[in-house]
Amino acid sequence: MAEQLIIGGVRREASDGATFDVTEPATGQVLTQVAKAGPADVDAALVAAHAAFADGRGTWARTNATARGRVLHRVAELLREREDLFATTEARGAGHPIGDARWEVGAAAGTFEYYAGAANKHFGQVVPVQDAGLDVVLREPVGPVALIVPWNFPLLIACWKLAPALACGNPVILKPASLTPLTALLLGDLLVEAGVPEDQVHVLPGPGGIVGDALVADPRTAKISFTGETTTGASILKASADHIARVSLELGGKSAAVVFADADIAAAAADTPMAVFGNAGQDCCARSRVLVERPVYDEFLAAFTATTEAIAVGDPLDTSTEMGPMISAGQRQTSLDYLEVGAAEGARLVCGGEVLDGPGFFLRPAVVADVDNSMRIAREEIFGPVVSVIPFDGEDEAITIANDSPYGLSGSLWTGSATRAIRVARSLRTGTLSVNTNRSVRFEAPFGGYKRSGLGRELGMGAMDAYTEVKNVFFSE
């Protein structure tokens, strides 16, 4: 039987009984069927969410913040108890190596723990106005929120949105990517089991062009939090403009790791490959451009290539696997096409790019060297295991090349000089930057992009602002 969708916290079939197949990336075979929501299901979820919110007078919105926090703590506990189930489902449904998938379940639980604690620490203000009286600023839940999630980190990104949205008292309508709906549905059940009132919880798998579009265009959707492609984000901004929805967008990237000659080259070369090839390169923060100062270019490239060639590519359920399959044949073909584009542009393929024999959507990580930043492989988001290595001369040129991108999501800086680290960090136009490491996202800190990489920030305490309205009330003396 097909996995059912969730409206009002309850599993049910799509209103027209439609279903769609979910494919396992490691085998290329159908894993299961899932209910395919349509416009009638979107309407049912919005009706239920609106009734539940009741203009801010609904039970969850009025539940005191400490009690909401307790429920979110329970969500985290249940996630940790069910690590095996969630990790295995993510490994099979999204192709994540099982070790990574286990880490993601822990990070998802950590996100809920953080917002469990944040729920009763998101204060209003008292403003010293000149009129005689008391001026207070209240933070109120915004209303039904549409949370639209991509396929690359289905569980984790859903939790980055769900946890603050629920901490603030909003009903949630989660729209998972069609390629990876399974952990979102498990999560919907778990929220209800943890104590989130049923009428706050809706999970609608189904096509973005139908379900996503209907959610975005509907004036009953108070806020949209979207993660996905830049072009989809732009269309969401347009589609939601008429009803002035609150919108936050986490979009694509073409992030640079900048390696200066004074860096610990061995450490940078050992760490950076997985910063682009992790999750088979399907990571918005992937360091898909590696900029290397010319005096250490050959040394770095040799070490980087050796580390890349040693990456274990294979079955995501094997604990020794470091890189699993890509999500689909189409996504793999996109990477193969870009490798041809790079060759035609004059770049040099140093290693990788081979399709693995057998079933599944596997591709060996590819290192492309001697890339010029004007080439398409350096400018366009490939979203696959392909890295462009680009030489540079001196600090100014490094900054110019790193910033010469339509995107500005993430990045890293490797140097032995603290003063250079400060100068360059302040000059890079990117929302997240790591110095002498490549890890980008910490749920305690804001995350999001400059330029075409997004609008607004997720995570950290700032997300609590993003899921609330500000009300100013003046009490006359």
Cα gap 172→58, rounded to integer Å: 13
Which is closer to ligand NDP, CB of 170 or CB of 282?
Answer: 282
What are the angstrom distances between the C-alpha of 410 and each of 203, 248, 292, 413, 423?
A: 30, 17, 17, 11, 17
Q: What does DSSP assign to residue 368?
A: E
Coil, strand, or helix at residue 248?
strand
Which is closer to ligand NDP, CB of 152 or CB of 412?
Answer: 152
Pairing mode of beta strands 450-451, 407-408: antiparallel
Q: Which of 76, 119, 149, 290 binds ligand NDP (CB under 6 A)?
A: 149
**Does residue number 175 form part of the binding site for ligand NDP (CB under 6 A)?**
yes
Min dist. Cβ of residue 286 to ligand NDP (A): 8
Cα gap 375→377, rounded to integer Å: 5
**Does residue number 434 form part of the binding site for ligand NDP (CB under 6 A)?**
no
The yes-or-no answer on residue 284 being catalytic is: yes
Q: Which of 53, 112, 114, 151 binds ligand NDP (CB under 6 A)?
A: 151
Identify which range of 22-30, 53-61, 82-90, 226-234 contacts ligand NDP by CB under 6 A.
226-234
CA angle 177, 182, 185 (to 5 degrees): 95
**Does residue number 152 form part of the binding site for ligand NDP (CB under 6 A)?**
yes
**Does residue number 216 form part of the binding site for ligand NDP (CB under 6 A)?**
yes
Burial letters 189-219, b for 16+ CB under 10 A, else e? bbbbebebbebbbbbbbbebebbbbbbbbbe
Give yes or no for a contact between 83 and 220, defined as CB atoms under 8 angstroms apart. Answer: no
Give yes or no for a contact between 5 and 37, defined as CB atoms under 8 angstroms apart. Answer: yes
**Does residue number 433 form part of the binding site for ligand NDP (CB under 6 A)?**
no
With tokens 């049910």, the residue in question is 12
Q: Which of 83, 229, 309, 372 binds ligand NDP (CB under 6 A)?
A: 229
Cα gap 42→398, rounded to integer Å: 48
Q: Which of 93, 228, 384, 385 binds ligand NDP (CB under 6 A)?
A: 228
Min dist. Cβ of residue 283 to ligand NDP (A): 7
Which is closer to ligand NDP, CB of 271 or CB of 283?
Answer: 283
Q: How many residues bind ligand NDP (CB under 6 A)?
A: 32
Min dist. Cβ of residue 39 to ligand NDP (A): 13
Burial letters 222-257, b for 16+ CB under 10 A, else e? bbbbbbbbbebbebbbebbeeeebbbbbbbbbbbbb
Token pair belonging to 255:
């992030």
Min dist. Cβ of residue 94 to ligand NDP (A): 11
Out of 24, 250, 293, 381, which one is annotated catalytic?
250
**Does residue number 223 form part of the binding site for ligand NDP (CB under 6 A)?**
no
Q: Which of 208, 352, 384, 456 binds ligand NDP (CB under 6 A)?
A: 208
The yes-or-no answer on residue 161 being catalytic is: yes
| CA gyration radius, the chain | 23
Site string for ligand NDP, 232-271 (x = CB under 6 A): x--xx-------------xxxx------------------
**Does residue number 221 form part of the binding site for ligand NDP (CB under 6 A)?**
no
Which is closer to ligand NDP, CB of 69 or CB of 281?
Answer: 281
Strands ordered across the beta sheet of 366-369: 348-351, 366-369, 386-392, 289-293, 256-259, 411-414, 434-435
Give catalytic residue positions.
161, 250, 284, 458
The footprint of ligand NDP (CB under 6 A) covers 148-152, 175, 177-179, 207-209, 212-213, 216, 227-229, 232, 235-236, 250-253, 284, 381, 383, 409, 449, 453-454
